Amino acid sequence: MVDLELWYDLESDEPTIVRDPAELDAALDIVAGWPGRIIVDVYVAANPARAVFNVGVHGEAGRGALYYSGDGGAWFSQGAPGPDRSPVETILYYYMNSDTEYPADSEIPLDVVRRAAHEYMTTGGNRPTVTDWQVRRP
């Protein structure tokens, strides 16, 4: 298990450091309470260059999305598009008020998003296996 740096708070110039699963859950609970689709930028504290892992949280809908870049590739989580979207459309998640496009079929249940964040922590920054992944399209 590794300590993680979480970046999501507009009011802070420093990351939130989480050292155990309870602290990770507490931070995700905060973000889940905010309106809209929010990205938590997650890094291994001892090695921030290890990978880019974005945890998208849409608490109101009980859904979220993941993005992982490392190990020579980049992937989005693979879910199903909502009933009002086609798989080729995009949805927007927001990292500190900057919009980021995700594939419409990248949203997955929020409990899977949480499990992925925990797996990232326990494996030291490996791409989580609790969800299916799709290759990032250029």
Q: What burial letters (b/e) apply to 78-91, b meaning 16+ CB within 10 Å? A: bbebeeeeeeeeeb
Q: What is the per-residue pLDDT for 71?
A: 81
Q: What is the per-residue pLDDT for 87?
A: 59
Q: What is the per-residue pLDDT for 72?
A: 86
30 Ramachandran zone, left/alpha/beta (phi>0; psi -120 to 50):
alpha
Decide if 59 contacts 34 (C-beta within 8 A). Answer: yes
- Report domain extents, the chain: 4-135
DSSP designation for 29: H
Give tens-digit pLDDT for 5-62: 999 998 889 999 999 999 999 999 999 999 999 999 999 999 988 999 999 999 999 9
Give tens-digit pLDDT for 60-85: 999 999 999 998 899 999 997 666 65
Q: SS3 of 54, please?
A: strand
Q: What is the per-residue pLDDT for 54?
A: 98
